[in-house]
């Protein structure tokens, strides 16, 4: 059995958790909107056609912000097509995903859905085929009370009060050659600066996200970030990061080591932001918005067979397995470990499209990745303590990878929560944490997500194949032992002791 230890100190703080780090994403793509959050003919839909079963599952995830309407889709989108009487809305081709967009769901419907789902919007503007003028008009439509053309147009559409959208994306992945309106760094930096300036002239209180590289693997990564910030530093508040991981090589250990690459990615972008800050002698720091992240590869072959110009096809519908859930947990731990600079993050996406929630005409169910997101989103609030982990490492294509991914948060009531992933596929891990600084603390809850088969999945017929188990605190049971190899974590003599079974995710909560 391997041994690991964690060192924390209540005075050594990484940063405050911005709740928007637990955001998600709804794009006009596949069945994310149509048959996902919106399906008027469904028995689960309310009077507005919004699926209540999906809303209930989204609420449990406690998602504070949802990015909309794209994604690649936004770079060719005319937001005006999706507002006003539905009978007058045009059906148009979407070049991003080679489908027909009906526009029966648009901006105002999304705002209604967001309120019902207890979330807020992160609205993206089209800087691909459109520009600064259209971005300005959209802010006017959404955020001004009235008395102008676009604000009065919103009122005419039945929305008397402004939407007051605070967070905006200046386009999407503009360095990608696949993007409609793809631009060089200098071109994008200039239009982002001008669009941002006009948008803040309409509403000075909004926050803006500039497009960083579409992925760490982009050939212009680094140079792109530096160049665009050199142009738009004064106008923007965040720089975006996007990254998806896959296990096409079918090497689970190397797949789980992607948290090392993610950590390095974040640190590199922080360095670039601060280099531009130093060059410009600015006081303001640019923080990060990791507004697309997930596992994505399961559906790639299926998507190659899709017919062009259909409506809401089964597209990008990855069926996630248990190893995907372990990596998602590790990625969320990595985001928390950078809570000082990562202030927004969006799991891409939320429903049906590379998503934790799946739907059919007969119901909705949770994929494996739903569970780590739910636990960390609900309990990873407050302050991130600087979490030092001492554990064995293994070789990976990303460098030495620790067998244990770990972070500790402290909420406003000074409860501690440890999120832990044991990446060892064969061996349990004996964990100790010195808690003598936290006198009187005991284990309040210990939840584990594990499965003997890393390829196991949840389906509509068998939705509970991979689900978390709450261990009995303070005593042992045969059921708990059969899953974890021992009973719940315990504090003895000021030391937290826990056995982390092989290939497992744990949430351990402690308080006085």
- Position 473 scores a pLDDT of 85
Distance, in Å, from the CA atom of 220 to the CA atom of 45, rounded to the nearest integer, reads 45
Contact 67, 114 (CB under 8 A): no
* Residue range 83-109: mean pLDDT, rounded: 97
CB atoms within 10 A of CB 25: 29
Helix (H, G, I), strand (E, B) or coil at 472: coil
pLDDT tens-digit map of 44-88: 999 999 999 999 999 999 999 999 999 999 999 999 999 999 999
Count of Cβ atoms closer than 10 Å to residue 474 Cβ: 10
Which pLDDT band, with edges at 50, 70 and 90, does 487 fall under? low
- From 292, 317, 323, 374, active-site residue: 292
Beta strands at 495-500 and 490-492: parallel, antiparallel or unpaired: antiparallel
The answer to whether 391 touches 403, Cβ cutoff 8 Å, is yes
* CA atoms of 146 and 194, how far apart (whole Å): 24
Cα 224 from Cα 188, distance rounded (Å) = 10
Known catalytic residue: 173?
A: yes
- Average pLDDT over the chain reads 96
Residue 219: per-residue pLDDT? 95
For tokens 């998507």, name the residue: 303
Active site residue 460: no
Cα separation, 277 vs 481, in Å, equals: 53
Question: Would you place residue 461 in the very low, low, confident or very high pLDDT band (cuts 50, 70, 90)?
Answer: very high
Catalytic residue among 109, 173, 225, 323: 173
Per-residue pLDDT for 475 more than 60?
no
Does position 486 have pLDDT exceeding 60, yes or no?
A: no
> Which residues, 6+ apart, have CB-to-CB distance to 364 below 8 Å?
44, 51, 53, 54, 57, 357, 358
């Amino acid at each position: 059995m391997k041994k690991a230890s964690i060192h924390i100190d209540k005075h050594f703080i990484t940063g405050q958790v911005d709740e928007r780090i637990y955001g998600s994403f709804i794009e006009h793509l596949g069945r994310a909107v149509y048959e996902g959050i919106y399906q008027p003919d469904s028995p689960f839909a309310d009077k507005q056609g919004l699926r209540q079963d999906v809303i209930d599952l989204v609420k449990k995830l406690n998602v504070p912000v949802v990015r909309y309407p794209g994604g690649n889709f936004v770079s060719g989108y005319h937001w005006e097509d999706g507002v006003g009487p539905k009978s007058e809305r045009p059906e148009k081709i979407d070049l991003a995903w080679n489908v027909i967009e009906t526009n029966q769901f648009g901006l105002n419907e999304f705002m209604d859905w967001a309120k019902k789902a207890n979330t807020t919007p992160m609205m993206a503007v089209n800087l691909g085929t459109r520009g600064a003028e259209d971005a300005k008009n959209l802010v006017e439509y959404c955020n001004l009370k009235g008395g102008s053309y676009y604000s009065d147009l919103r009122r005419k559409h039945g929305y008397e009060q402004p939407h007051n959208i605070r967070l905006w994306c200046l386009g999407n992945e503009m360095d990608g050659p696949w993007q409609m309106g793809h631009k060089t760094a200098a071109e994008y930096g200039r239009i982002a600066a001008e669009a941002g300036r006009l948008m803040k002239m309409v509403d000075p209180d909004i926050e803006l996200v500039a497009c960083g590289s579409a992925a760490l693997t982009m050939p212009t990564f680094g140079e792109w970030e530096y160049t665009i910030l050199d142009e738009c530093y004064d106008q923007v508040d965040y720089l975006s990061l996007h990254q998806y991981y896959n296990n096409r090589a079918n090497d689970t250990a190397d797949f789980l080591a992607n948290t090392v690459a993610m950590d390095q990615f974040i640190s590199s972008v922080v360095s670039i932001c601060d280099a531009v800050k130093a060059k410009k002698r600015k006081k303001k720091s640019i923080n990060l918005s990791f507004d697309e992240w997930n596992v994505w590869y399961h559906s790639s072959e299926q998507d190659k067979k899709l017919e062009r110009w259909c409506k809401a096809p089964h597209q990008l519908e990855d069926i996630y397995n248990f190893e995907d859930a372990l990596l998602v947990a590790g990625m969320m731990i990595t985001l928390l470990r950078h809570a000082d600079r990562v202030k927004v993050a969006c799991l891409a996406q939320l429903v049906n499209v590379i998503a934790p929630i799946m739907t059919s005409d007969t119901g909705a169910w949770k994929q494996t990745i739903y569970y780590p997101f739910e636990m960390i989103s609900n309990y990873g609030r407050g302050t991130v303590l600087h979490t030092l982990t001492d554990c064995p490492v293994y070789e990976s294509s990303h460098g030495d990878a620790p067998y244990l991914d770990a972070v500790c948060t402290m909420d406003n009531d000074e409860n501690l929560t440890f999120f832990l992933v044991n990446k060892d596929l064969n061996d349990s891990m004996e964990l100790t944490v010195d808690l003598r600084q936290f006198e009187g603390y005991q284990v309040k809850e210990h939840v584990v997500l594990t499965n003997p088969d890393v390829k196991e999945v949840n389906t509509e017929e068998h939705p509970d194949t991979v689900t978390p188990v709450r261990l009995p605190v303070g005593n042992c049971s045969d059921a708990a032992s059969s899953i974890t190899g021992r009973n719940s974590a315990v504090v003895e003599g000021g030391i937290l002791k826990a056995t982390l079974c092989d290939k497992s995710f744990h949430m351990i909560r402690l308080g006085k």
